[in-house]
Copies of this chain bind each other. A is one copy, B any other.
């Protein structure tokens, strides 16, 4: 759907040299003004994607002092709630493929937010656990998310709106 970040106004260059007696076979350019989205503006997926990018953008901005991406944040949250789990379990729960999770964990571990420890029960697995620093950063991140990011979304949608939204999102996720 080609939905990326901003939709800055389309260059709208000032055109003066209009209508110079259109030659046969000439290709006339359209004049200024914003373009029409057509059926895109009613396509749920299109509008949905735009909104999603906007939400993540805001998340990143709100958590910016802690330098955590949404993905990294989700890993830390999962580690906090699931002590003693290994890489594969954490990764697949978040929909991350195991090979891709390696570099991601490397990043978090090099920042001392978590550690890998070989399991004594299954020496293949690495148990991933939060460090104290990781726990502290996560606590601060959660506060930022709650007071800045989620607060803004709540203000936009209203309490009942948010509830309705979450209910619909659940339906969309499980079909």
Contacts and interface: CB of A to CB of B under 8 A. Distances in A.
Query: How many copies of this kind of chain does the complex include?
Result: 2
B171 A157 contact: yes
A106 B94 CA distance: 35
A30 to B, nearest CB: 3
Interface residues of A, number: 99
Nearest to A13: B122
A83 B2 CA distance: 19
A29 B74 contact: no
A84 B28 contact: yes
Interface in A146-162: 149-150, 152-153, 156-157, 161-162
Given A5-B95, A28-B120, A51-B173, 12 more contacts: A1-B74, A2-B70, A3-B74, A3-B94, A4-B97, A7-B93, A15-B122, A29-B84, A44-B162, A48-B169, A51-B169, A157-B171
Interface of A: 1-11, 15, 17-18, 20, 22-23, 26-30, 34-40, 42-52, 54-56, 58-59, 69-75, 77-78, 80-86, 88-90, 92-97, 104, 117-122, 125, 127, 142, 145, 149-150, 152-153, 156-157, 161-162, 164-166, 168-173, 175
